[in-house]
Chains A and B, each alone.
Chain A
Amino acid sequence: MVEIQSYLILSAITFIIGVVGVLARRNAIIVFMSIELMLNSVNLTLVAFSAYLGDTTGQMLVFFVMTVAAAEAAVGLAIVIALFRNKQTVNIDDINILKW
């Protein structure tokens, strides 16, 4: 029997890998992929809690997280395409994301 902690630690690790990806990568498409990774770790936490609490709410949330992820990916990639048309780049270096 695998304990719930194992699942939670796993999801915490993948979540942080996703956060690092968002903060450190400069290729907008990979940034969006890292965000997908973050949302997937959220799903893992929810499914784990759902199974161990015997509560269906967690699994329900997963569906909605997936929908949100799909919608965000679609709009995000469309914005990347629009930016690429303007600037011929998908690097967010010039955009200087931590400007005051």
Chain B
Amino acid sequence: MTLETILFYALSFVSVGSALMMITRRSPVMSALYLILNFFALAGLYLTLHAQFIAVIQILVYAGAIMVLFLFVIMLLNLGDEKKLSEKMSYKKIIPAGLSFGLLMELLYIVSYAKSDLPLTHIERATEIGTVEYVGKALFTDFLFPFEVTSILLLAAIIGAVVLAKKKLD
């Protein structure tokens, strides 16, 4: 076992474990914290894939900004109280669980079956394409247009968030 393999399995264990904890916790605060743990594990996995810049962004944007927003809303609404959020398990949940299990089996089937169709070698360039320099270059040449479209997308999202969360209708 190489160091890389050990690292991969350790990180995947953390990732799956924290994901399971996230969807089963009662308190949203706990869920949010487990999700942050999951994001850190993912950032580690990105590093094993030589995507350094993405790994940094993962921590800064996801764990640092998006999850803080979640925690902020939870605290704003004062949802820490577990009694308010009691959830009943019911037979209705068997249906989505069954559906999802079927989908999982299919996905696992295709990724294992598709082995022969998938590229198997780590290409040497992989280390190179993950750097800030390379990413930045691609972002401002070939992907310039989608990049500009996201600015409109974010502007619309900002207006929407402000309109919806505003207290009074004025």
Contacts and interface: CB of A to CB of B under 8 A. Distances in A.
Interface of A: 1-10, 12-21, 23-27, 29-30, 32-34, 36-37, 40, 43-44, 47-48, 50-56, 59-60, 62-64, 66-75, 77-82, 84-85, 90-91
B42 A43 contact: yes
Contacts of A71: 153-154, 156-157
A74 B111 CA distance: 33
A37 B146 contact: no
A10 B16 contact: yes
A59 B146 contact: no
A67 B76 contact: no
A20 to B, nearest CB: 5
A23 B126 contact: no
Given A19-B103, A20-B97, A67-B154, A4 B74 contact: no
A77 B123 CA distance: 41
The secondary structure that dominates the B interface is: helix
B56 interface: no
Question: What range describes how many residues of B lie at the interface?
Answer: 35 or more
A10 B13 CA distance: 9
B157 A74 contact: yes
A52 B8 contact: no
A55 B142 CA distance: 13
Contacts of B85: 27, 90-91
B139 A52 contact: no
B122 A1 contact: yes
Contacts of A75: 157, 160-161, 164
Interface string B1-24: 010110010001001100110110
Q: Which 3 A-B pairs have the closest CB atoms?
A: A23-B96, A54-B123, A21-B23
B61 A24 contact: no
| Of listed B111, B118, B167, residue having the most chain A CB within 10 A | B111
A54 B126 contact: yes
Contact of A40 (B42, B97, B161): B42
Interface string B57-101: 110011001100110011011010000010100000100110111
A6 to B, nearest CB: 7
Given A4-B119, A29-B28, A70-B61, A40 B138 contact: no
